Structure 1
Amino acid sequence: MPLKWLDRLRRSVPSEWGTWLEVARAIGAFRSPSRKERQLNALWAVLIFAAGAIPSALSSASVAEFSEGALAAVFGGVLAFSGLLVGFLVTLMLFTGRLGSTQALDVETLRDYGSRLRYLLASQAVTLAYALVVAVLCLIYLVVFFAGMPLLVHSVVLAIVGGSLAQCVVRATLLPVQIFELHDAHLDDELNARVQESNRRYER
């Protein structure tokens, strides 16, 4: 059953945003099905965010003194990385959602396989969200920089940028493993399908 506050929020927004809330809730359930895993995910998220946010906040005074060209080079690189990662993740998610040769799989195996694919999609969706957040935060910091806002604002925004970027980079390291796992599963499906086909021909 959905949480009461989530249900009320879903009813108070347009249908497409209500669907987004439901999908976000489903992603959270697939990523953290148990309380222990939710706590572990939250702990790692906080540690990784802090590892990026603290150095970024401490360096905010130096960053605020950057020339416009230097700032554009640094944040342009971060935006390019985020954009590249977004495009790659969208393509990967579309490919991940395509099942291989499942005709030879029994119901239980197919259910387990579908659960694993949903878990991979949920993980990739979270990484995609971080990449989008990093891009938006970079644009916000550029506004803060060129508007000449106080150093405290620089520190807060830059800390959030750094923490989100750390999350994005760390989660990006999971992608090669996920790609290998995806292809390995597809190859197993193809092999099982060929074995079943060979067995049927032999029985004839």
Structure 2
Amino acid sequence: MTIVPHEWRAAAQVLKILRQHAIEYRERAAQLFVSLAVPGGVGAFVAWAVLPRALARNGATDTLIALSAGVLAFTAIVIGFVVTLMLQTGRVEQHVTLSFEQFQLYAEKLRYMLHSQIVTLMAALLLTGVLILWCVLLVADANAGTLVWIGSLCGGLGMITMLRTFLLPLQIYDLHDFGLEQAKNVKRDQVNRDIKEGRR
């Protein structure tokens, strides 16, 4: 009898399945790493370059706390939006008329989009947690080196979250466009069959 909670074991199993589906959709670990490392590196570098000067200014604490509050509000909106979007994305009732091959292609796109949305959600959640920690350390007058290091991590996570949020509308369009094209093909085939049957 295991002491690991059922929710944890179920979550681990789902993550394993999601990763397998992403691999089947031709996304390798290197591609995922690049999609996270490039914006993350840019954001971390910008924060690392700016924070030392910002922390050195008098009265910077209040300004940085206010800025952090704005970022936390943004991440709260992103988290709520992505969760709602995931619930809507998973609906397939309107595509049950697709053929097996067409529905299989649609399901692959759907799984990949859900995987991408989960990555975006995790980035926003991590940003929220790390930024709250950074604010606590800032108020507690932690040393500048620690604040710059954790602030750079916040900058990287922030850039990842922003970029992936900007990509969501394009992914949604791609999914709906694919579904509409497949549905149009089904209707075309149905009309062609009706025409052929009418000529008999």
Shift of 1:192: 4.5
Between 124-133 and 177-186, the greater mean CA deviation after superposition: 177-186
TM-superposed CA distance for 1:39, in Å, is: 1.5
Instruction: Indicate how the Cα distance of structure 1 residues 173 and 196 shifts in structure 2: closer, same or farther if over 3 A, else same.
Output: same
- Aligned-partner residue type, residue 30 of structure 1: H
C-alpha contact (below 8 Å) 2:39/2:160 kept by paired residues: yes
Residue number in structure 2 paired with 1:5: none
Figure out how many residues of one structure are paired with residues of the other and give that number.
194
Q: Deviations over 1:147-201 (max 9, x none)?
A: 1111121011101101111111111121111111122134335435544665676
| Aligned partners of 1:50 and 1:163 also within 8 Å | yes
Matched residue SS, 1:173 = helix
Q: Which runs of 5+ in 1 are unaligned?
A: 1-10
Partner SS state of residue 93, structure 1: helix
| Residue 159 to residue 32, structure 1, CA distance change in 2 (3 Å) | farther
Which whole-Å CA distance do the structure 2 matches of 1:53 and 1:44 have between them?
A: 15
Corresponding residue of 2:126: 133
Residues 56-111 of structure 1, C-alpha deviations (whole Å, 9 max, x = no match): 12322233345343123211111111111111111111111011433432222212
What letter is aligned with 2:39? I
Sequence identity, in percent? 29
**Unpaired stretches in structure 2, ≥5 consecutive residues:** none
Give yes or no for contact 2:98–2:183 (8 Å, CA) kept in 1. no
Query: RMSD of the alignment, in Å?
Result: 2.5
CA distance in 1, matches of 2:33, 2:22: 11
More displaced stretch, 75-84 vs 54-63 = 54-63
Call closer, same or farther: CA 1:68–1:108 in 2, change over 3 Å: same
**What residue in structure 2 maps to residue 6 of structure 1?**
none
Q: In 2, are the aligned partners of 1:53 and 1:159 still within 8 Å (CA)?
A: yes
Deviation at 1:141, TM superposition (A): 0.6
Counterpart residue identity of residue 176, structure 2: H
**Aligned positions of 1:12-161 closer than 5 A:** 13-33=4-24, 37-64=28-55, 65=57, 66-161=59-154
**1-side partners of 2:20 and 2:155: how far apart?**
27
Cα offset, 1:23, TM superposition: 1.7
Q: Report the Cα distance in structure 1 between the residues aligned to 2:25 and 2:177, rounded to whole angstroms.
A: 27
